[in-house]
Structure 1
Amino acid sequence: MKLQVKVGIAALLALALPAPLAAAQNCVGSGDASPGELHRQVMLQGWQHEPGDPRFSFRAKLGRFYDWEAQDGLFFDDFDPQRRAVRSVAEYGGIWEPIFRANRSALHAISDAPTVLIGSDLAASSLEFTARIETLKGKVTGIRTRSDMVWRCRPDGWKIVREHNSSKIVPVAEAERIIAGQGDNPQASM
């Protein structure tokens, strides 16, 4: 009888908890599922495209990082030739799929380690990455980008709701040197 009472009280408490507090249990501040490490994964796994990789699909490669249901999203990257600011993850993916499908490769390295601020249900992360991008036509470009993301705590962990990337073109040899080193480089700030 006592066991039934304990289970009943636990169930009532779970129902009474506000959604952000319940979700916060899945939103950690350190380790592989923290905003800083997730930001690093977005760059080094999601946007990484090696020669011979399957055709780029935004949802397949990056979908798990974004809040597809967010009504208050805002996404901008000045590397987009049209420099569009969009409100939904689907629109953002729609910008990048044709661009990345025209690339032979997009190789990345973190050139300045992530910094993170974490609140109760929102977090902000910032890092710098360097990339070497080669199109199918053989044009090679080096970029250094400051990437800022806002993450919302959801029941399945931190999800991106806002993103802003500002890039500058750098010499290809510089990008290749940083990528070859594959390490954080605090001196390489924008």
Structure 2
Amino acid sequence: MFKSAYALALFFLCSSSSFAAEPRQSCPSSGKDGVAELHRDWLLTGWERDDGDPEFNFRNDLGKYYDFTRADLSLFDDFDPELKVRNTADDYGKIWYGLVPKFKSVHHKITEQPGVVAAGPGYSHSVMEFVFEVTPKRGDKMYLISRTSILWRCTPAGWKIYKEHNSARPVEASVYLNAK
């Protein structure tokens, strides 16, 4: 009886709309288009800012990581003044259009490389920790440590962020300055 109930529960879990509704795609498990490298690139290329960089544009700067055609995403960052879960990439981008232009620069150092696990057919999960220095156009530098957790969905265009959660807290400058 227990095995039957367990098997039935497992069947319903695996056939839920989250996993079963997606057509099976093939995405690389490693290399430059694998989840670990994409997670690193998302941070160090997408979010890195230098004084004098072109105006921030979420679609241009981070568009390769997000699927702008979907409305079933779950995107959260505690930098969001509204602390809302955003269901579209465009809605998520609105947070950053309000914040990034206030920064002169943002620099990151990875303190824990992305840990990657397969989560289901066509999905992969990665977790990474990093420290960063934010230099606002007005005010004092801020130093933070963040943990990011991303569930990636395999699409015809490659891995795209399906669910994202970022949490940051302030740290002393020495934490950033001493990170490798």
Q: Which structure 1 residue ranges, 4+ long, deviate > 4 Å from structure 2?
A: none
Q: Partner of 2:102 in structure 1? A: 102
Distance 2:91 2:80 in 1: 12
TM-score, structure 1 as length reference: 0.79
- Mapped pair 1:171 → 2:164: no
Please list the CA deviations of residues 73-127 of structure 1 after superposition, one character each: whole Å capped at 9, or x if unmatched: 0111112233222111101001111200110001011110111112321111110
How many residue pairs are counted as aligned between the two chains?
159
Q: 1:1-190 maps to which residues of 2 (within 5 A)? A: 20-21=23-24, 23-24=25-26, 27-118=27-118, 119-178=120-179, 181=180
Instruction: Extract unaligned runs of 5+ from structure 2.
Output: 1-21
Q: Is the 8 A contact 1:33 1:157 kept in 2?
A: yes
How much identity, in percent, do the aligned residues show? 35
Distance 2:153 2:70 in 1: 9
**Helix, strand or coil at the partner of 1:123:** strand
Distance 1:105 1:175 in 2: 14
Distance 2:83 2:49 in 1: 22
**Helix, strand or coil at the partner of 1:137:** coil
Q: Is the 8 A contact 1:129 1:145 kept in 2?
A: yes
**Helix, strand or coil at the partner of 2:90:** helix
- RMSD (Å) for aligned C-alpha atoms: 1.5
Distance 1:106 1:81 in 2: 18
Please list the CA deviations of residues 36-80 of structure 1 after superposition, one character each: whole Å capped at 9, or x if unmatched: 110110100000001111111111110111111223201111122
**Helix, strand or coil at the partner of 1:106:** strand
Q: Is the 8 A contact 2:131 2:175 kept in 1?
A: no
**Helix, strand or coil at the partner of 2:30:** coil
